[in-house]
Amino acid sequence: MTHPAPALDIRSDICWSDETSVTVLGRDLCEDLIGSVDLGTFAYLLLTERMPSEAEAALFNAALVSLVEHGVTPNVLATRMTYLGAPESLQSAVAAGLLGLGTRFVGTIEGSARYLADGLVALGPEATDDAVRAEAARIVAGFREQRAHVPGVGHPVHTPVDPRAEALLGLADRLGFPGTAGRLVRAVAAAASEASGRHLPVNVTGAIGACVVLLGVDWRIARGMGVIARTIGLVGHLREELAQPIATTVWNVSDESASRHLRG
C-alpha cells in the first residue's frame, strides 16, 4: 500500500503568467515594463518590490556600473578557463566566475552595508560629526576585536582614494540623498586608518554599502548587486575570449611553470 501524494503548499508573489500576459510584482510585463524601463530600474523593482524614484534609479544604476569591470581578475580567469573546456555552455563559464564573489572581494559589500545600516539606525537622521565619529570608532573596534578586516576600506592599487568610491559618494550628494551614510563610511575609513596606521580609503564596496543603505536594499542581498554587475563583465570577457583568446596560453604557461622543477 502506498500513501497518497502529499500536497505542496507554497507561495511566491513575484511573477505569474497566463495565456496572454506575464505579471511581475503587480505590473504587466509586456504593457508596462518592456520598452518603458531600463534594466537597472527593473532590477531595482525586483530587489526592493517598488519602482525607484529618478534619483534612486540613477544611483542604483551607477552603483552597478561601478562594479562591472576591473580587468583580468581571478573570476575572469575562472570564466575563461571554463569556457575553454565547455564552449557549448556559456552559462557555465559565467557561473564559474561568479563563484569566486565570496568574502574576499565583492562579498565585502554585504559587510559594509550591514554596519552602515546598523550604524544609521543607531545615529538617527541628524547626527552630529562627533556622533558619527564615535559610531565609526565603535564599528572599527568591533572588527578589530574579532581580528577581522573592516569591509569597504582599503585598496591594493587605488590611492590616495578609490576613484569609483568618490564618484559614487559624490553622485549620491548631487542627487540629494541624505549625507549621513557617506559621512559614516568616510569616518569608518578614517578610524580604520588611524587604528591600523595605514592609509585606508573608502573603496568601491564601501561606497556601494552606503548606496545600498540609501536605496533601501536589504543588506542580506546586497552582494547580489555585485553578482549582477560582474555577470555583465564576465560575458564581456567571453566576447573577447572568442576573438582574442588567452585561456590556452595561461594554462600552458602555468602548467609548464608549476611542474618545471619536477622535470629535472
| 5-24 binders of a copy of itself (CB under 8 A) | 5-24
Min dist CB 189 to a copy of itself, Å, is 17
Interface residue with a copy of itself, options 50, 53, 74, 173 (CB under 8 A): 74
Answer for which of 52, 56, 100, 203 binds a copy of itself (CB under 8 A) is: 100
- Count residues contacting a copy of itself (CB under 8 A)? 133
Q: How far is the CB of 151 from a copy of itself (least distance, A)?
A: 14
When asked if residue 205 is in the footprint of a copy of itself (CB under 8 A), the reply is: no
Q: Which of 171, 164, 185, 201 is nearest to 68 (CA)?
A: 164
In this chain, which stretch among 83-91, 115-123, 124-132, 188-196 interacts with a copy of itself, using CB under 8 A? Answer: 83-91
Q: How far is the CB of 80 from a copy of itself (least distance, A)?
A: 9
Output 100 or 119, the one with its CB closest to a copy of itself. 100
Contact status: 145 vs a copy of itself (CB under 8 A): no
Contact between 152 and 112 under an 8 Å Cβ cutoff? The reply is yes
The only residue of 52, 94, 154, 208 in contact with a copy of itself, by rule CB under 8 A? 94
CB 79 within 8 A of CB 234: yes
By the rule CB under 8 A, 51 interacts with a copy of itself: no
CB of 249 to a copy of itself, least distance (A): 5
Residue 223 binds a copy of itself (CB under 8 A): yes
Q: Which residues contact 84 (CB under 8 A, 6 or more apart)?
A: 245, 247, 248, 251
Going from the C-alpha of 143 to that of each of 103, 127, 138, 147, 148, the distances in angstroms are 14, 22, 9, 6, 5
Site for a copy of itself in 240-259 (CB under 8 A): 240, 242, 244, 246-247, 249-251, 253-259
Which residue type occupies 230? R
The candidate with the shortest Cα–Cα distance to 136, out of 217, 219, 213, 195, is 195
| DSSP type of residue 221 | G
Q: Give the DSSP letter string of 102-156.
A: STTTTTHHHHHHHHHHHHHHHH-TT--HHHHHHHHHHHHHHHHHTT-PPTTB--S
Q: How far is the CB of 120 from a copy of itself (least distance, A)?
A: 20
Q: How far is the CB of 230 from a copy of itself (least distance, A)?
A: 9
188 is a contact residue toward a copy of itself (CB under 8 A): no
Least distance CB 140 / a copy of itself (angstroms): 21
Contact positions with a copy of itself (CB under 8 A) in 102-121: 102-107, 110
Q: Of the candidates 134, 112, 129, 113, which has an alpha carbon nearest to the alpha carbon of residue 200?
A: 112
Contacts of 251 (CB under 8 A, 6+ apart): 81, 84
Cα(152)–Cα(147) distance, integer angstroms: 16
The nearest distance, CB 136 to a copy of itself, in angstroms, is: 24
